[in-house]
Amino acid sequence: MSIDSVLESLAIELPSWAFGNSGTRFKVFGTAGTARTVQEKIADAATVHRLTGLAPTVALHIPWDAVPDYRELGRFAEGLGVRLGTVNSNTFQDDDYKFGSLTHIDKRIRQKAIDHHLTCLEIMESTGSRDLKIWLADGTNYPGQGDIRARQDRLAESLASIYQHVGADKRLVLEYKFFEPAMYMTDVPDWGTAYSQVSALGERAVVCLDTGHHAPGTNIEFIVAQLLRLGKLGSFDFNSRFYADDDLIVGAADPFQLFRIMFEVLRGRGLDPATGVALMLDQCHNIEDKIPGQIRSVLNVQEMTARVALVDLGALAAAQESGDVLAANAVFMDAFYTDVRPRLAAWRAERGLPEDPMRAYAGSGQQERLAAERTGGAASWGA
Amino acid sequence: MSIDSVLESLAIELPSWAFGNSGTRFKVFGTAGTARTVQEKIADAATVHRLTGLAPTVALHIPWDAVPDYRELGRFAEGLGVRLGTVNSNTFQDDDYKFGSLTHIDKRIRQKAIDHHLTCLEIMESTGSRDLKIWLADGTNYPGQGDIRARQDRLAESLASIYQHVGADKRLVLEYKFFEPAMYMTDVPDWGTAYSQVSALGERAVVCLDTGHHAPGTNIEFIVAQLLRLGKLGSFDFNSRFYADDDLIVGAADPFQLFRIMFEVLRGRGLDPATGVALMLDQCHNIEDKIPGQIRSVLNVQEMTARVALVDLGALAAAQESGDVLAANAVFMDAFYTDVRPRLAAWRAERGLPEDPMRAYAGSGQQERLAAERTGGAASWGA
Amino acid sequence: MSIDSVLESLAIELPSWAFGNSGTRFKVFGTAGTARTVQEKIADAATVHRLTGLAPTVALHIPWDAVPDYRELGRFAEGLGVRLGTVNSNTFQDDDYKFGSLTHIDKRIRQKAIDHHLTCLEIMESTGSRDLKIWLADGTNYPGQGDIRARQDRLAESLASIYQHVGADKRLVLEYKFFEPAMYMTDVPDWGTAYSQVSALGERAVVCLDTGHHAPGTNIEFIVAQLLRLGKLGSFDFNSRFYADDDLIVGAADPFQLFRIMFEVLRGRGLDPATGVALMLDQCHNIEDKIPGQIRSVLNVQEMTARVALVDLGALAAAQESGDVLAANAVFMDAFYTDVRPRLAAWRAERGLPEDPMRAYAGSGQQERLAAERTGGAASWGA
Amino acid sequence: MSIDSVLESLAIELPSWAFGNSGTRFKVFGTAGTARTVQEKIADAATVHRLTGLAPTVALHIPWDAVPDYRELGRFAEGLGVRLGTVNSNTFQDDDYKFGSLTHIDKRIRQKAIDHHLTCLEIMESTGSRDLKIWLADGTNYPGQGDIRARQDRLAESLASIYQHVGADKRLVLEYKFFEPAMYMTDVPDWGTAYSQVSALGERAVVCLDTGHHAPGTNIEFIVAQLLRLGKLGSFDFNSRFYADDDLIVGAADPFQLFRIMFEVLRGRGLDPATGVALMLDQCHNIEDKIPGQIRSVLNVQEMTARVALVDLGALAAAQESGDVLAANAVFMDAFYTDVRPRLAAWRAERGLPEDPMRAYAGSGQQERLAAERTGGAASWGA
């Protein structure tokens, strides 16, 4: 793919919750100007898209973003130039889910969790969303607390109950996570589990890869390549981490890792509409401003993708063929080290976008305006 | 040391906050019967001590446990058969501390954090506590956000300001932590930093080792041995973990690790009053009942310490001397695999304690009583 | 299962190479009395079986254990009371495999590696072995060095070429490993990859789980439960580790982890002959004596399995059902902490085995005899 | 510092052993043209320096590089345009060191290891080297095998015996390593241990930081900043890693980490001659050509240092002062993302060096010449 066609095919979905306050178990610090409602979150997402041209859709989290009328919410979004995207279910904050949701030993609670997903599917009819994304907090904290095998069987059964309601043009996307909030055993801890569970469901069930949800040292781009090869990579939750699920700005912790991940995405035709991989952000701006945090994030993805598009694939293949390790690596690194920012500024200028979206936002006075207007308690997804 | 003298010298400090609700950034689940006030927490700690004979003191966290009159609180505790212990400062939940406390770039905020510690020292006069324990959430989330070196210098200066107020019979105990809540750089991330900082202060400044605050794979018992050798091990925060700072029940994740840690404690005379190592718990009972969770915890420490006391030190030394790896390891494992529970039941019976404290508590009806009485919002340390 | 039936069904396969010298990249230290030939290795394995009754079979590594006549080798083994077991292929020490074997970019080298496996399958006809175990060192050290996706496709093709020669009563067992010797990308790095590759082959292709081949913090017993659930757990390579693939004695680093693993094995009926899970050791006795090192290892597996058999499954299920986290965990821990050694000594006495096999070996004078006899260079699997 | 003064002050020491063959415990693959003698290694190092102007000194490893006359070796090196640098002791390949060297329980073996270091100090008189670098393989594989505390005391005693022979213009540099070859306990596992041990010796004893010798997730630049602050950072062993001590080309695994490390080096005046931090490589070119591998390595350090020199320190300080997390990070990243290669090519041209040293070497025909000449067994440091 040429760099231009790559850039044209790039669209990044923003999570509504990135515009609310977030934090750690120790403290959720507030940030002035933070969105207080789902409408304000969508408005902030629209600002990101207006300045970057990269973020045409907004993902919802239910019930965080529950509203009486989703069609109206969709029209509201479209009025601001964006669309509603993936619907994320939430079965981890109701007291009933203390010991699990889709895997719970009590059939009543499993059914409650299943029903919540059916509600999400209904919402998707109103929003026009394609993907129902399921991240489960299910797991156990102590050995013996739960029956690992039985929980896995119940998970399969619950997912099947949901999947039969997934329409022909919809997808069920199952996310895995190494640990947290469960501290001993997580019911969907790795890509192998997510893959085997969605494979049992059918072809409209796929996997979500959150870049922060792996064991230390895991080669994430390998998993990207493998899931694309198996036809089961449904979406990304982009963020970055130094330690655990830190949810930092994508590309902030290890830019070269993001480069390698995007290389495998392009290598596996992940940006082709036919492949259908959704690129989403899933981050927590605990201490930094939310809107510029999201602008920075989508720019990082764009910049790194542009670098990937510069890889001389012919030279790379030739070096690989000849077993010249240093030459092959050099082709890779040459693209990574090329400064694509001037080219991207030009790309933006051609499209009537600000050449430097971060500067444009900072200079717009909007942050100060929002800080003045939005008082009286901002949205937070914490406990 | 004989097993009896070891058991006699064992005293474990309970943290008041373990009796409140806790959770993850995703959710703090409530548990029926949970303490709502510092007095209720102390009463619960007293229950643990009454049933086990192992937990004569309770640590406070300021301002979580702030009261108008600490002498009165001390008398309240003594009336229940326990004493107030270590005072833990908290400089991570006030909005001013968003970017640090003792390391903050703004002198005003550093002074505010210093003053909080001076307040804690005053409280210690009323409570008769020996130790001021300092755990800092200070750190940064993004490279470049702070000047690592300057923050370290400011930390040294702030600690020195506090230390000059630490009385002759008091100690400043500095705790280190690998990460969280800071996601990129933590200002006191490892024992080396804590050690070099307290060494610069003086001999009444020592290190607190929290067993959950290390990088994956860290040999914790080595650090125990080293800090004891250097005369700088002040206290433990006991808990256990599979992944990060999971704050599970001590000994729950890896009992053999607890055995190895307690072996080095005894090897380094850590239970001698002259050494002054405080054994504290620092745990989160996110989903389990709090009081039995603490009972289980102190029993785990006692059981593992009793196993350690069984190590045949003469045989161990002989095997080590001869380079017989398998024999030396076998001496170690033989003690670990010995079931000390009958012996400990007898030890309890001799002292008028219930032979099985877990069963005694479960059969006492107290949990049900507390669940009925304590309604209307329990204490939580979360954000 | 009762403890007796569990113990009867337990059989552990010893690796011939555990009886040779091994080491790290820094140094292979020699140990007096170490086996110099495959026959001496088998004899040592037979000693382990004679003293423990636990190790009736010996795994071979080809070409390390190559002999002109495998039927004769089989008769030799049977004469000593053991049988030949799993055949392990080796495609990592020939210079041709510097950049891979079954995944190599050069078809000639892939074919050479395939042919080596066909040779192994022929050997299995002579030895009567059921399992061809494939561990690949294939991978890359630098990003860009190889095409991750293409290598995975070549792997699938090569495995298919081998699988079509796997007889109806044979199995292909694919092992995964997190890293080493490849330092950036390993072609079979995780259970998900091994699972998806063997699933594409057919029902006689299964996965080998080496307990040292995971990322830090990985919940291994979860993978055991999952692979048993999916019907794809073929065998174990037992060992233990603190850091990477340390290949220490099984159960030495974290006995409780071994307990949890064996719990899932029994939970998933892994010891049923119909399930066909092979329990193998794969260890390196770098500094300790080899024969007692293997005795210690099989005893560790037996002891921990006996503890697992003591778990009160009814009480466990009841506690899980009621959401009593502490009670469920206590049932688990009660079995783990029970000292089964007297019972196992009795079990051995009933069978005419020495009650304490370690002591019996130490007192037999055999180690000294072997040290005197076996001079002139021992076998080593190193580079 | 300006970028030019930074570049002028940059000198990287090459390890002689990087020019020999190396590998893993599984296999040491040979590479055509690899040096067979210490003289050939020095000649290869001189080639690197001739093409890059960055590597004026070569470190020796004793006894790998033992020769009868070190003054003659020094003259040989000078004749090729380089000098001999750090002397690295080796106490891990003699059979006597199976259970330790400076920490060994047997006084005779400790003395042997001490004597080896005295020999190294004598060699340093002949070579004019400043630094005696000590990396110890000492440690244990099994709990109980050794007495952690006593080993630490013996280490202190042995180091003191060596230190009293370290001349006024020499330094003792102690390196730490997380694990390997020891699998349970390493006697110098972390910077805290190295720091406390060298602090006890005196001011000419300092710490060596090998970038591959840390636990997963460790913030290495923090340690750099801390050791510089404490005046105890003696030298670096540069390399990179994805998993353990992979010894890959510096900057290959995580270029941004190298940027952050070099930032702290400059921040702490580590390149000032008065600070005396030695920048060394310590890598294993297991599968790639050695000479271009070293060229690539020194170029990586230079390129990243040049990027660091571009950081706008005024803007950084202002953003930090104002608590603008995103702005501070952006200043950092702006420098990292700037392509300095054209500028460095010009810098080389000004100095009569080839603008592209990798290409110059590849086009020189030297690799082919060496491959033809150097037959009959290359040097290897493996076991």
**For D121-167, how does the pLDDT look when each residue is reduced to its tens digit (9 = 90+)?**
999 999 999 999 999 999 999 999 999 999 999 999 999 999 999 99
Q: Which residues of D touch C287 (CB under 8 A)?
A: 98-99, 141
Q: In Å, how far from its chain's centre is CA A191?
A: 15
Q: Do A192 and C192 touch (CB under 8 A)?
A: yes
Question: Which residues face C171 on adjacent strands?
Answer: C131
Backbone angles phi, psi at B105, to 5 degrees: -70, -20
pLDDT of amino acid B377? 76
Does any domain span residue A335? no
With cut-offs at 50, 70 and 90, classify the pLDDT of residue B383. Answer: very low
Rounded Cα distance, B12 and D110, in Å: 40
Average pLDDT of the residues in A346-353: 97
Q: Do A339 and D341 touch (CB under 8 A)?
A: no
Q: What is the pLDDT of residue D383?
A: 43
Q: Where are the beta strands (DSSP E) in A63-159?
A: 83-89, 131-134, 139-140
Residue A367 in this model has a pLDDT that exceeds 80:
yes
Residue of C241, C248, C325 for testing the chain B interface, max B β-carbons within 10 Å = C325
Neighbours of A342 (CB within 10 A): 9
Residues 66-85 on B with a CB inside 8 Å of D are none
The answer to which of B102-111, B143-152, B268-277, D219-228 has the lowest mean pLDDT is B268-277
Mean per-residue pLDDT of chain A: 96
B382 pLDDT more than 80 = no
Chain A CA closest to residue B214: A243
Chains that touch C (3 or more CB pairs under 8 A): A, B, D
Partner residue facing B215 (CB), from D215, D317, D319 = D215
Per-window interface: A 205-244 vs B, CB < 8 A = 216, 241-244
Cα–Cα dist B232/B226, whole Å? 9
Contact A242 D217 (CB under 8 A): yes
User: How large is the average pLDDT for residues B69-80?
Assistant: 98
d(CA B353, CA B369): 22
Quote the strand ranges of B225-293, DSSP E: 233-238, 278-281
A337 interfacial to chain D (CB closer than 8 Å):
yes
Q: Taking a C-beta distance cutoff of 8 angstroms, is the pair A161, A114 a contact?
A: yes
- Domain membership of residue A381 (yes or no) is no
Task: Write the residue in A105, A191, A217 that is nearest to C215 by C-beta.
Answer: A217
From the list A216, A260, A264, which residue is nearest C216 (CB)? A216
Written as one letter, the residue type at B289 is: D
Rounded mean pLDDT of B184-199?
Answer: 98
Chain B touched by A144 (CB under 8 Å): no
pLDDT tens by residue, D287-308? 999 999 999 999 999 999 999 9
What residue in D sits closest to A220 (Cα-Cα)?
D242
Domain of residue A117, CATH code: 3.20.20.150
Residues B113, B94: Cα–Cα separation, whole Å:
10
CB contact under 8 A, C320 and A217: no
Categorize the per-residue pLDDT at C296 as very low, low, confident or very high, splitting at 50, 70 and 90: very high
All residues at 6 or more sequence positions from D217 whose CB lies less than 8 Å from its CB, including other chains = A216, A242, A243, B178, B179, B215, B216
- Cα of B296 to nearest chain D Cα, Å: 26
Contacts of D333 in chain A (CB under 8 A): 255
Checking if the pLDDT of B319 tops 80, the result is: yes
List the chains bordering chain D where 3 or more Cβ pairs fall under 8 Å: A, B, C
* A283 touches A15 (CB < 8 A): yes
Q: How far is Cα D168 from Cα C303, in angstroms, rounded to an integer?
A: 59
The predicted-structure confidence for A30-64, as pLDDT tens digits, reads as follows 999 999 999 999 999 999 999 999 999 999 999 99
Distance between A380 CA and the closest CA of chain D, angstroms = 20
Residue A379: pLDDT band by 50, 70, 90 thresholds?
A: confident
pLDDT value of position C383? 44
Which of C 41-60 lie inside 8 A of A, CB atoms? none
Look at residue A234 and tell me whether its pLDDT is greater than 60.
yes
Residues of chain A contacting residue C256, judged by C-beta atoms under 8 Å apart: 143
The yes-or-no verdict on residue C179 having pLDDT over 80 is: yes
Q: How far is CA B365 from CA B286, B298, C111, C318, C322, in A?
A: 22, 21, 72, 20, 17
Whether B110 is covered by a domain: the verdict is yes
Q: Which amino acid is at B225?
A: A
Mean pLDDT of C30-43: 95
Contacts of B95 in chain A (CB under 8 A): 29-30
Residue A269 has a CB neighbour count (10 Å cut-off) of: 13
Spatial CA neighbour of D50 closest among D374, D279, D352: D352
Distinct helix (H) and strand (E) counts, chain B:
14, 10
Instruction: Tell me the pLDDT tens digit for each residue of A179-215.
Output: 999 999 999 999 999 999 999 999 999 999 999 999 9
Query: pLDDT tens across C271-293, in order?
Result: 998 998 999 999 999 999 999 99
Q: Which residues of A touch C329 (CB under 8 A)?
A: 142-145
Preferred mutation among A287, A320, A325 to probe D, highest tally of D CBs within 10 A: A325
Share of chain A above pLDDT 70, in %: 99
Helix/strand/coil for C275: coil
Would you state the pLDDT for residue C378? 75
In a domain, D126, yes or no: yes
**Coil, helix or strand for A138?**
coil
Neighbours of B, requiring at least 3 CB pairs below 8 Å, are A, C, D
- Nearest CA of chain C to the CA of D214: how many Å? 11
Confidence (pTM): 0.98
Residue C192 sits at the chain A interface (C-beta within 8 Å): yes
Q: pLDDT at position A382, please?
A: 53
Q: What would the pLDDT profile of C145-158 be if each residue is shown by its tens digit? A: 999 999 999 999 99
Q: Which chain A residues have a beta carbon less than 8 Å from that of B244? A: 179-180, 243-244
CA count, 13 A, side-chain hemisphere, B254:
26
In this predicted structure, what is the pLDDT of residue A381? 67
Strands D83-89 and B131-134: unpaired
* pLDDT above 80 for C136: yes
Give residue-wise pLDDT tens across range D38-49: 999 999 999 999
Q: Do B192 and D189 count as a contact with CB atoms less than 8 A apart? A: no
Q: A132: domain range? A: 3-309
Partners of D30 on chain A (C-beta within 8 Å) are: none
- Cβ contact A292–D325 (<8 Å): no
Contact criterion met (CB < 8 Å) for A217 and D243: yes
Interface touch C25/D23, C-beta < 8 Å? yes
Residue D319 within a domain: no
Task: Count how many domains chain D has.
Answer: 1
Count CB-CB contacts under 10 A for residue D241: 23
Cβ neighbours of residue C301 closer than 8 Å, sequence gap 6 or more: C10, C12, C54, C238, C250, C251, C258, C262, C279
User: Is pLDDT above 50 for A383?
Assistant: no
Look at residue B33 in the predicted model and tell me its pLDDT: 94
Phi, psi of D60 (to 5 degrees): -110, 155
Pair of tokens at residue A185: 């055993």
Q: Cα–Cα distance between A245 and A241 in angstroms, integer?
A: 6
Cα radius of gyration rounded to whole Å, chain C: 21
Nearest residue of chain D to residue A335 (CA atoms): D339
* B288: nearest CA partner in chain C: C325
Cβ-based burial of C161 (10 A; exposed 0-12, middle 13-18, buried ≥19):
middle
Residue B159 CA to residue D22 CA, distance in Å, equals 48
Alpha helices, DSSP H only, in chain C?
A: 3-8, 38-52, 70-79, 107-127, 148-163, 191-201, 220-229, 255-267, 290-309, 313-321, 325-337, 341-350, 357-363, 366-373
Please say if the pLDDT value at position C1 is more than 70: no
- In tens, the pLDDT along C83-133 reads 999 999 999 999 999 999 999 999 999 999 999 999 999 999 999 999 999
Residue A369 lies in a domain: no
Q: Which residues of B touch A216 (CB under 8 A)?
A: 216
Q: How confident is the model at residue D379 (pLDDT cuts 50, 70, 90)?
A: confident
Q: Is B254 on the interface with D (CB under 8 A)?
A: no
pLDDT at A1: 66
DSSP 3-state of B192: helix
D21 strand-pairing partners: D380
A311 CB-side CA count, 13 A: 28
Q: Is D293 on the interface with A (CB under 8 A)?
A: yes
Nearest CA of chain A to the CA of D288: how many Å?
A: 6
Is residue B353 situated within a structural domain? no
Cβ contacts of B178 on chain A, cutoff 8 Å: 243
Residue D191 covered by a domain: yes
**Residue of chain B whose alpha carbon sits nearest to that of A383:** B27
Mean pLDDT of chain B: 96
Cα–Cα distance list, C344 to A179, B337, B341, C266 (Å): 37, 14, 20, 18
Q: Which residue of C has its CA nearest to B248?
A: C326
Nearest to D86 by CA among D221, D214, D197, D237: D237
pLDDT at D141: 98
Binding partners of A (≥3 Cβ pairs within 8 A): B, C, D
* CA–CA separation, C271 and C263 (whole Å): 11
Token pair, residue D215, equals 């636990």
Compute how many other C-beta atoms are within 10 angstroms of the C-beta atom of residue A135: 22
CB distance C255–B255 less than 8 Å?
Answer: yes
Residue D205: pLDDT band (50, 70, 90) is: very high
As a whole number of angstroms, the longest Cα–Cα distance in chain D is 65
Contacts of B226 in chain D (CB under 8 A): 152, 192-193, 196
Q: Please tell me which of the candidates A292, A293, A337 has its beta carbon nearest to residue D339.
A: A337
Show residues of chain C in contact with B255, CB under 8 Å: 255-256, 333, 336-337
pLDDT category of residue A272 using cuts at 50, 70 and 90: very high
Cβ contacts of A191 within 8 Å, gap of 6 or more: A176, A207, A209, A223, A226, A227, C190, C192
Task: Give the single-character DSSP code of D231.
Answer: T
Nearest CA in chain C to D32: C95
